[in-house]
Structure 1
Amino acid sequence: MSNTIARVPLVLAPGATELLTAGAAGFILALAGGGYENRSDHEGSGTAEWLTAQGIAAGHLDYPVAPARYPDALDQVLLALADLRAGMYGQVSGPIGVIGYSAGGHLAGTVATATDAERAALAVREGVTPATLARPDLVTMGYPVFSLVGRAHVGSRLNLLGPDHAEELAYALSVENRVDSAAPPAFVWHTADDTTVPVENTLAAVSAWRAARVDVEAHVYPNGVHGVGLALGEAGSVATWSQQWLRWLNGQGVRPAA
């Protein structure tokens, strides 16, 4: 008998259901940052609501944070993606993507590289087949905590794994060690002067996706504080990232109704 997991809320942005009914293609699930300790509203619901204003169906997931540990958050995102694909939130035609910021970017990266073992373990607990727990079709990571071992954000690592975790687990959950040729196309961005999560995390993401020969678009802007989110109204080139992302999404098949 399976021991199913209690689901956390997948919150649709206002208007998302109407957009899907009208024929908008694809869906984006937002994962806010917060160091695996909390979740930032402007990165989660704020991003989802902005997307729906652009005609793209979206929602955000209140994934588990500390004292929850790995793999709780990963499991919840995989289950949410399965529910989206099963039509539980409306019929989605087109790619289903995730966007994550900071620690949410790490979560997005681990979901995009979810291993066969992780999916199989969750499938046993849920009483389903691993094939229903697929990776997302697209992944976006903003100023992500990409690595847990190289230029890592220590707070995110401790909150995700606990104080007594094995070094081998931190290595296995560093996304640079998980990317393979089945990873989805990626869009990743950062600011060069980020003092909280170093830009080297995004440079590692680019290297990993390139090594796996999977499409990646990357942008490094000279200035912008960590946690800037959509950067709407910010000074400098970082304010352009959301429009560049929107063009990328459109090119990947996520777009408003015709």
Structure 2
Amino acid sequence: MRSDRRSLLCAGLAFPALLSGKLAAQTAPPSASEPFAGAFADPSATIDLWPSGAPGMPSALPVEETTERSQASGISDRAVLGITVPRLMVFRPDRANGAAVLLMPGGGYNHVVVDKEGYEMGRWLAARGITAFVLFYRLPYDGWAAGPDVALSDAQRAMRVIRHRAGSFSIDPEKIAAMGFSAGGHLCADLATRFAVSTYRPIDEADGLSARPLCAAPIYPVISMDPAVAHAGSRTRLLGDVPSREQELAHSPDRNVPRDAPPVFLLHAEDDDVVPVENALLFRAALKAQGIPVETHLFETGGHGFGLRRAVGKPVEVWPELWLGWARSRGFV
């Protein structure tokens, strides 16, 4: 059945009330002063990743701040920075099909985008029976002890927590995918290639579980830290002003693909003037060299950061269905 892709922004569902007990929201969703900020279905639960506080706190904690960037009435475009309580915002379907996606929004490692690459995709997934977890990850320039690995620590921990609590959400723990956009695409690729790297000290039984996703989808991703093709803002926020060559290599997923990396779905527009398409091509070549299955879709036009809302009415609007069809072929649904 062909879905109406113009409903991408309106896939709101009647979600259950907040979960009771340990899954109840400890940290409220970000909010903005504009009355339309919650016009569509909001997350049904919040899971804080680190029950005793995130590890390696800086001496001067950043202050979390949410900014509403949209100039259009009825459409919210929030961004959050200064995250000190990493968390998952949960979008639950009416009828869960057992599959789940960890969503990692972009923001150039300067902030985390809430709506365009987080909540809107969460609603789209939930409308199709897939439980979605939007990750609010810490930002590397805030002085955390893990440095450039701090967002990866949150992504690894998120995968393990979702897997550990799978029964509470009617999820198959083997059917958890990862998806990220732009700098969140870098984080998604980093998770897909360095899921087994130790970036934090285990704190509970969840950390005994694998952080490897079943499959990964970096969407218009930042990949390389080579200044010739890197997104300059993400590179600086992640590695500082003058990183060493060793740091560049260590944080370029195309240089760190293991033989047991999960299958990958890559998507990029060739006219992307923010993150060059070469980033996706470098990652594809590295995956192919290791024998990792990779599906690649390049669109002539689309620009950067189209997510769902800016893809409507363009050839690139088919991308979510392309991903879903591919994910099904990998045993995801």
TM over 0.5: yes
Question: Paired residue for 2:203, among 126, 134, 143?
Answer: 126
Change (3 A) 1:163 1:128: farther
Residue 96 in structure 1 maps to residue 96 in structure 2: no
Compared CA separation, residues 57 and 115, structure 1 to 2 (3 A): closer
Tell me the C-alpha RMSD between the 2 structures: 2.2
Q: Does 1:37 align with 2:107?
A: no
Asked if the contact 2:186/2:222 (under 8 Å) is kept, the reply is: yes
Instruction: Give the Cα–Cα distance (whole angstroms) in 1 for the partners of residues 133 and 169 of structure 2.
Output: 12
Q: What does the per-residue CA deviation read over 1:31-69, in whole Å, with 9 as the maximum and x for residues that have no partner? A: 111100112221011111111112211120011125334
Equivalent pairs, count = 245
In structure 1, what is the equivalent of residue 44 of structure 2? none
For residue 225 of structure 2, the aligned residue among 148, 162, 181 is: 148
Contact 1:194/1:226 (8 A) holds in 2: yes
Q: Which residue of 2 aligns with 1:25?
A: 98
Residue pair 1:56, 1:254 contacting (<8 A) in 2 also: no
Supply the distance in 1 between the matched residues of 2:221 and 2:276 (Cα, whole angstroms).
Answer: 9
C-alpha distance after superposition, 1:72-120 (max 9, x if no partner): 110011111101111165242141111001000000000111164x32x
Higher helix share: 1
Give, in whole Å, the separation in 2 of the partners of 1:127 and 1:55: 30
Report the TM-score when normalising by structure 2. 0.68
Q: 1:115 to 1:167 in 2, by over 3 A?
A: farther
In the other structure, the counterpart of 2:244 is: 166
Name 1:46's counterpart in structure 2. Answer: 120
TM-score by length of 1: 0.87
Distance 2:107 2:316 in 1: 20
**Paired amino acid for 1:187:** F
Identify unmatched segments of 5+ residues in structure 1: none
Q: By how many angstroms is 1:252 displaced? A: 2.0
Q: Which has the higher contact order (CA 8 A, sep 6+)?
A: 1
The structure-2 alpha-carbon separation of the partners of 1:113 and 1:85, relative to structure 1 and needing over 3 Å to count, comes to same
2:182 alignment partner AA: S
Change (3 A) 1:250 1:163: same
> How far apart are the structure 1 equivalents of 2:315 and 2:121?
19
Following TM superposition, by how much is the alpha carbon of 1:249 offset from its aligned partner in structure 2, in angstroms? 1.7
Give 1 or 2 for the bigger CA radius of gyration.
2
Residues 206, 199 of structure 1: alpha-carbon distance in 2 compared, 3 angstrom cutoff? same
- Cα separation, 2, equivalents of 1:184 and 1:39: 25
Tell me the distance in 2 between the aligned counterparts of 1:129 and 1:239. Answer: 37
